[in-house]
Structure 1
Amino acid sequence: MIAHLSALSGFIIPIGNILGPLVIWLIKREEMPFVNEQGKEALNFGISVTIYAVISWLLMFVLIGFLLFVVVGIFWVVVVIIAAIRASEGKSYRYPLNIRFVK
């Protein structure tokens, strides 16, 4: 659950949505298989959302990016909260639209 919620540190720290899950995953991956699995999911989602946000930012020059940027932000927060709830119940969660960089 902490790996998922740590992604919300992106509101405070630039690229915190990547750094938070990365730190949790690196520290706990050896001790807990569930944290290893969910930490990778959260890390991959942080990277994916950052890519989607950069693409949205680039598309702001043709105006559609403003809407996409807002949609990506709302999507990110909602999905992270859902993932944290599922993890707190002990259930695995796979993020939608997640590019799996770390396997």
Structure 2
Amino acid sequence: MESALTKHEKNLSALIHASTFSKFFFPFGNFIIPLVLWTANKNEYSFVDHNGKQALNFQISMLLYSIILGIVSVPFLIGFFPNIFDFGHFGFDGLNNFNNLNISFNSDNFRFGKWLFPLGVAGLVQGALFVVNIVYTILATIRTNEGQEFEYPITINFIK
């Protein structure tokens, strides 16, 4: 398929994938710019049509995964708020204990521990999604510029 593709098709497909990085400059740029480029050229070039669908499906899937992860982590965050106003650990009533040099970490006294772990896991998963998005978008840009068809992993096909 590489021989039948023109340089314009390859560049346009790579531009569609690379334009998803516009989300760092303005909101929803990762949807708007690829959508405009794809809809303007999808009828003329089948390679551009395929890559536009792939880029948009991947970005929509990443948004959906982030929303689901946020919804799952909300109960842990709400459960954390009642303990944030307990000033027993951060107030002035514990200052006289610093003279005794009794430094010990008891998990019963550290009330953030039971909520910090699930939020930390959610943060790590969100970071992993961010890295996957960056790495696979760069790979897609490079491969489509070389004329290869690229399929993103963990993508739900919303646009067929």
TM bin (shorter chain): over 0.9
5+ residue gaps, structure 1, are none
- AA aligned to 2:139 is I
- AA aligned to 1:66 is G
What corresponds to 1:12 in structure 2? 25
- AA aligned to 2:149 is S
What corresponds to 2:135 in structure 1? 78
Number of matched residues? Answer: 103
Q: TM-score, normalised by structure 2?
A: 0.61
Q: 1:88 aligns with which of 145, 148, 156?
A: 145
Q: 1:32 aligns with which of 35, 45, 53?
A: 45
Q: What's the offset of the Cα at 1:58? A: 2.6
What SS does the aligned partner of 1:40 have?
helix
Q: 1:52 aligns with which of 65, 76, 83?
A: 65
What SS does the aligned partner of 2:70 have?
helix
What SS does the aligned partner of 1:30 have?
coil
Q: Segments of 4+ in structure 1 off by > 6 A?
A: none
Identity of aligned residues (%): 38
Kindly indicate whether the alpha-carbon contact (under 8 Å) linking 1:56 and 1:66 is maintained by their aligned counterparts in 2: no
Q: TM-score, normalised by structure 1?
A: 0.92
Structure 1 vs Structure 2 CA RMSD = 1.2
Comparing 58-67 with 3-12, which one deviates more in the overlay? 58-67
- Higher Cα radius of gyration: 2
What SS does the aligned partner of 1:99 have?
coil
